[in-house]
Amino acid sequence: MPRIPQFPKVIKSFRPRLSLFILLLGLVAPLLIAACGGGDPTQAPRPAATNTPQPPAATATVAPEPTAMMEATHTANKVEISSEGSLGSHLVDSDGMTLYLYTKDERNVSNCSGGCADAWPPLLVDGDPVAGEGLDAERLLAIKRADGSSQVTYNGKPLYYYAADAKPGDVVGQDKGDVWFLVSPDGGPIRTSAAVNATDSGTLGTILTDPSGNVLYLYTKDERSVSNCSGRCALAWPPLLTVGDPTPGEGLSADRIGVISRGDGAKQVTYNGWPLYYYDKDEKPGDAIGQDRGDVWFVVTTDGGAVYTNAPVNATENGALGSILTDAAGRSLYLYTKDERNVSNCSGGCALAWPPLITVEDPVPGEGLAADRIGTTARADGSKQVTYNGWPLYYYAPDEKPGDAIGQDRGGVWFVVTTDGGAVYTNAPVNAAVHAELGNILVDAAGRSLYLYTKDEPNVSNCAGGCALAWPPLITIADPVPGPGVAAASIGTITREDGSKQVTFGGDPLYYYAPDEKPGDALGQNRGEVWFVINVPEPLSMTLGASQDDTLYETTGKPLNNGAGQWVFAGNTANSELRRGLVTFNIASGLPAGAVVSSVTLTMNMSRSIGSDAAVGLHRVLADWQEGAVKGFGNEGAGGDAGQGDPTWTQRALETLDWDAPGGDFAPAASAAVTVQGAGNYTWNSTKQLIADAQSWLDDPTTNYGWLLQGDESKSKTAKRFDSKDNPTEGNRPALLVKYYAG
């Protein structure tokens, strides 16, 4: 039977001398630790990787006096797994004595000899070592030491005892000199507080390593903060384990480093959501033999992304998003509309949230993608980021697994990418912007010029393939959104051959021009005499005064009204009574029939306030009312006694018609809102809903009941006083600016 040294048994056989042994050990151990804790100063320079270590150089280290521990004999033994203590599952011998690895060793090569080996006795065996339950016997081997003895290795790591461990379960050697660690059942070190550093690795750039310089990897089949590597996979790719909180090295983001619990309860370190691993065949610090293994294992950038050798860019079908760009694992790739052509404007914290797609050599286009459209751009740190059609490509860190596209339309500037190299908008905006030379033209939300193609037909695109790579279509998932100065009736969509929805303007399909580098560029203008920007006429405008206004007063006494007063009120009074203003504009009398409303803004003057700042919303009124004839007393805050037919808190016409609910009938969602502070003019800026309100009142004047002004009603002293249409100062009266196109 194979025999392994049994330190505990020998200690027991010399029980009368145990106290002496401990005393001697206490005197000698510091010398032994000094001999090897930070690298053995007594040994020759490190040999090349080999299964036969070179003999150590002569040493002046004081050898410890013989003890029972050092006189151990070989006995039959196993290497087993212990789950005792707070450090998790780790390797021990059959008597429970803790086993360690040395991070300055190389694969199947011990770099601990002389005084180092006195402090850290190697686990020796006469024959083949025996694997206990749960250990892979194929990973348990032996190497020859310089003295001819056989040392046990697990997963390529030579195994050691620590001389100061006096009994089974002791782990005094854990984390000594930041190079000695317990061994996980996967064959990796168990660190007390694992550190993750940034290390320059030459051609691979700055990548993640442990403090010894051992390269760390990510696995593209993992999900965010979920490891899918266990069993034999974890033997080949031992996870980076920690007991306490991991620590980031210089230049790494502390809020991006974390831990996850593995199936066996061990804590694995993550960076930017990626579980981190070693590769068991890396022989020494700096090795990156695992790079690009199986197209799923990669070294990790300091931004928390994979470093590909030849980054693949594929086309993948993704439901409603259509055919979009992904990496080899199917993870969504994004573009950033604030980038310029072949220039990334995302770094630092941005690049942690949106890790760039990095490659060492030339990227590789997948089936259906144009090889001449895929390229690279140099980032500030010297790494090479992949581009497609001039757009730098990125991941989104919170995407948990292949197929996720959580970053889509994030902040209105991040989008998945079509195979034509354009953005896929959720609701593509079409805006009008003034170009210094070309006048008022159509642009997207970022201000990038849009074009039409004169060889297209109405609502039919004749630009596909290579044409669409040069002129990427403006793609949307849901309905496009017209911006200020663009008539909603002019905007539409068509379905392209690949099923995607392209935005149209007046029936003309809209496109970008790939060489336009930044917003404002219009390099495609008059290209081939068939490509042109789209000029849009300046909208007409009309300013309307209020046709009626009033205030609804909450009261427990007589019904109140202020239809003839010079002020309108909204909010909560000092007496905790609510006030709600009403205002109507006769849209149909001011705009021509058939006009298309493109913008609506309301300006009112707030002349008095109590309490703090408060938001005031405009809500569409849902029932008819008529302005009252009453003028309130004094400052009108308490209104006046309402007369028959006047709108009050409970009735839209006193003694005739009730509101469905006290306080008026109005849409629960505000069409627009503004925060009102000190006295002065306030403008409710144009919104999609304000435009819809005005357009519907123009198309059907019988539904025009105006807006209700609702202030902050959650607390007292928020009431605001606005000047009404009857205010003696004409410039302070409500004014509605409507921009439109003649029908």
Low-confidence ranges of the chain (pLDDT < 70): 1-77, 743
Contact in structure between 134 and 231 (CB atoms under 8 Å): no
Amino acid at 124: L
**What is 697-735 written as a DSSP string?**
HHH-GGG---EEEE---SSSS--EEEE-TT-S-GGGS-E
Q: Where are the alpha helices (DSSP H) in 69-189?
A: 115-119
Q: Within 10 A of 590 (CB to CB), how many other CB atoms are there?
A: 17
Beta-strand relationship, 364-365 and 312-317:
parallel
pLDDT at 70: 36
Query: Do residues 442 and 430 lie in contact, with contact meaning Cβ atoms separated by under 8 Å?
Result: yes
Spatial separation of the C-alpha atoms in residues 735 and 739, rounded to whole Å: 13
Note the pLDDT of residue 11: 28
The conformational region for residue 165 under phi > 0 = left, psi -120 to 50 = alpha, else beta, is beta
Predicted pLDDT of residue 731: 96
Residue 255 tokens, joined: 């809020």
Contacts of 202 (CB under 8 A, 6+ apart): none
- Quick one: CA dihedral 123, 129, 130, 136, positive or negative? positive
Collapsed DSSP state (helix, strand, coil) of residue 139: helix
H or E stretch at 376: strand 374-378
pLDDT the model gives residue 253: 82
Q: What is the pLDDT of residue 743?
A: 67
Each residue's pLDDT tens digit, 633-655: 888 999 999 999 999 999 999 99
Q: Which residues contact 513 (CB under 8 A, 6 or more apart)?
A: 449, 451, 470, 471, 522, 523, 524, 527, 531
Phi, psi of 320 (to 5 degrees): -65, -20
Alpha-carbon gap, residue 92 to 471, rounded angstroms: 65
Give residue 388's Cα distance to chain centre. 21
Instruction: Give the per-residue SS3 of 465-482.
Output: CHHHHHCCECEECCCCEE
Helix, strand or coil, per DSSP, at residue 572:
strand
Could you give the CA distance from residue 56 to residue 46 in angstroms, rounded to a whole number?
Answer: 10
Please report where in the chains the tokens 């994030």 appear, as a residue.
410
Q: How many CB atoms lie within 10 A of CB 231?
A: 10
Tell me which H or E stretch contains 590: helix 587-590
Q: pLDDT of 365-417, one tens digit each? A: 998 888 888 999 999 988 999 999 999 999 998 998 889 999 999 999 999 99
Pairing of strands 578-584, 707-710: antiparallel
- Residues in CB range of 482: below 8 A, 6 or more apart: 429, 430, 431, 488, 490, 491, 598
Which of 313, 297, 279, 270 has its CA nearest to residue 400?
A: 270
Q: Which residues contact 591 (CB under 8 A, 6 or more apart)?
A: 542, 597, 698, 738, 740
Is 289:279 a contact under the CB 8 Å cutoff?
yes
Distance of CA 602 to the CA centre of its chain: 38
Among candidates 290, 139, 163, which has minimal Cα distance to 220?
290
Q: Which residue has the tokens 């003309």?
A: 508
Listed by start position, the domains of the chain span 4-166, 191-299, 310-416, 427-537, 542-741
Which residues, in sequence order, are bridge partners of residue 476? 425, 501
Confidence at residue 629, expressed as pLDDT on a 0 to 100 scale? 94
**Can you tell me the distance from the alpha carbon of 130 to that of 77, in angstroms, rounded to the nearest whole number?**
7
